[in-house]
């Protein structure tokens, strides 16, 4: 069985502040387990995709800037009979933040969300709808906090033109700014539905973005078992098993609420931890055997 671990053409911005090359360490670990693993770039036209039995979608971190091409590539893999992990159907669903509405409709706790479709205009009614003075808006198809911003009642006039210009290009999601984000965003990692590990990502002073390349910091803490259970509940709504899932959210009144369910290309915080890498390996073997 021939396996490829799929990444992207690297850009320094997305790897800034990361002490290790997660893809490389994962590939080395899998090869040491005698798995025939080959690294590839998802939009490399020289790759013979039909030569692979399994394509692990690991880090196509620029997919959101080439969504149509990315979806077509997933379709091509399926037509070639390549097993895609995570499954292509789930990746497509997860690529647009409208998926949060689907999860909320299943009764699971999600940060309240509204949507403005492409070509629409921002409406200050969102402040009243969410009973807040501050909103977060971001593209429905994005990664790494690209074009993510906050708007408050005090600066909405100044930001309106910028927001409406962005709306000419794509759909946006609108959410209330949740003060608890200042305490950090929890990321729970699950492999084949089984809990592996977690981190707490905390934004730098004066910011709300938790990504390391925006100055966020990372802590490795032991979570409350209740919160692990709450995070794992979001995976039960999926139609297929996933090799990996990162469940991102915050604690409000000591209860986990979802911000993002990352099923396409999340950083997994493997950090060379042999126990964590073994968890990934066992999940992969279970899904390809």
162, part of any domain: yes
CATH of the domain at 226: 3.30.470.20
Torsion sign (Cα): 162, 176, 93, 192: positive
User: Do 104 and 187 share a domain, yes or no?
Assistant: yes
Q: Looking at residue 215, what is its pLDDT?
A: 58
Please report, for the domain that includes residue 86, its CATH number: 3.40.50.20
State the pLDDT at residue 12.
52
Are residues 125 and 257 both part of a single domain? no
Q: Is residue 278 part of a domain?
A: no
Cα–Cα dist 243/194, whole Å: 10
Separation between Cα atoms, residue 218 and residue 95, nearest integer Å: 25
Same domain, 210 and 249: yes
Q: Are residues 188 and 138 in the same domain?
A: no
H-helix or E-strand spanning residue 201:
strand 194-202
Q: Give the model's pLDDT for residue 227.
A: 97
Segments forming the whole domain that contains residue 215: 99-109+180-269
> In the prediction, which pLDDT does 210 show?
52
Q: Is residue 233 part of a domain?
A: yes
Q: What is the pLDDT of residue 16?
A: 38
Residues 193 and 165 in one domain: no
- What pLDDT, on a 0 to 100 scale, did the predictor assign at position 188? 98
- Dihedral, CA atoms, 195, 110, 102, 199, nearest 10 degrees? -30
Q: How far apart are CA 161 and CA 240, in angstroms?
A: 42
pLDDT recorded at residue 205: 66
Nearest to 15 by CA among 62, 85, 64: 62
Q: Which of 94, 127, 156 is at the close of a domain?
A: 94
CA 187, CA 261: separation in Å to the nearest integer?
9
- pTM of the model as a whole: 0.90
| Residue 126 to residue 173: CA distance in whole angstroms | 11
What total of structural domains would you count in the chain? 3
Q: What is the pLDDT of residue 44?
A: 95
Give domain status of residue 286, yes or no. no
With respect to residue 245, please indicate whether it lies within any of the assigned structural domains.
Answer: yes
Peptide bond into 259 cis (omega under 30): no
Contact between 236 and 110 under an 8 Å Cβ cutoff? The reply is: no
| The pLDDT of residue 126 | 95
Domain co-membership, 127 together with 105: no
Are both 104 and 229 inside the same structural domain? yes
Q: Please check whether residues 10 and 42 belong to one and the same domain.
A: yes
Residues 173 and 190 in one domain: no
Residue 52 lies in a domain: yes
pLDDT value of position 121:
95
- Whether 284 is covered by a domain: the verdict is no
Give the CATH number, domain containing residue 163.
3.30.1490
* pLDDT averaged over 10-residue windows placed end to end, the chain, 289 residues: 92 45 95 96 96 97 93 98 98 96 96 95 94 94 81 91 91 93 92 97 66 69 95 94 97 95 95 95 97
188 and 164 assigned to the same domain: no
pLDDT at 14: 45
Of 140, 5, 113, 124, the C-alpha closest to 59 is: 5
Whole-angstrom distance, CA of residue 6 vs CA of residue 233: 28
Same domain for 173 and 35, yes or no, is: no
Residues 104 and 194 in one domain: yes
Decide if 285 is inside a domain: no
């Amino acid at each position: 069985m021939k396996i490829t671990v799929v990444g992207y053409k690297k850009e320094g911005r997305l790897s800034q502040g990361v002490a290790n090359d997660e893809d490389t360490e994962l590939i080395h670990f899998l090869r040491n387990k005698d798995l025939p693993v080959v690294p590839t770039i998802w939009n490399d036209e020289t790759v013979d995709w039909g030569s692979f039995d399994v394509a692990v979608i690991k880090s196509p971190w620029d997919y959101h800037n080439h969504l149509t091409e990315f979806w077509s590539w997933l379709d091509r893999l399926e037509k070639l009979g390549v097993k895609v992990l995570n499954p292509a159907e789930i990746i497509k669903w997860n690529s647009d933040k409208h998926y949060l509405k689907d999860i909320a409709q299943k009764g699971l706790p999600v940060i309240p969300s509204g949507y403005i479709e492409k070509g629409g205009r921002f409406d200050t009614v969102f402040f009243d709808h969410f009973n807040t003075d501050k909103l977060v808006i971001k593209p429905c198809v994005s990664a790494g906090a690209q074009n993510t911003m906050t708007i408050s009642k005090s600066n909405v006039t100044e930001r309106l033109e910028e927001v409406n210009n962005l709306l000419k290009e794509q759909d946006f999601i609108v959410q209330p700014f949740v003060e608890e984000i200042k305490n950090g965003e929890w990321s729970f990692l699950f492999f084949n539905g089984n809990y592996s590990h977690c981190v707490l990502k905390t934004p730098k002073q004066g910011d709300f973005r938790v990504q390391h390349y925006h100055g966020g910091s990372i802590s490795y803490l032991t979570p409350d078992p209740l919160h692990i259970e709450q995070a794992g509940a979001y995976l039960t709504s999926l139609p297929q098993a996933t090799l990996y899932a990162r469940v991102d959210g915050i604690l409000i009144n000591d209860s986990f609420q979802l911000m993002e369910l990352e099923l396409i290309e999340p950083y997994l915080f493997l950090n060379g931890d042999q126990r964590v890498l073994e968890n990934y390996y066992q999940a992969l073997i279970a899904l390809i055997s």
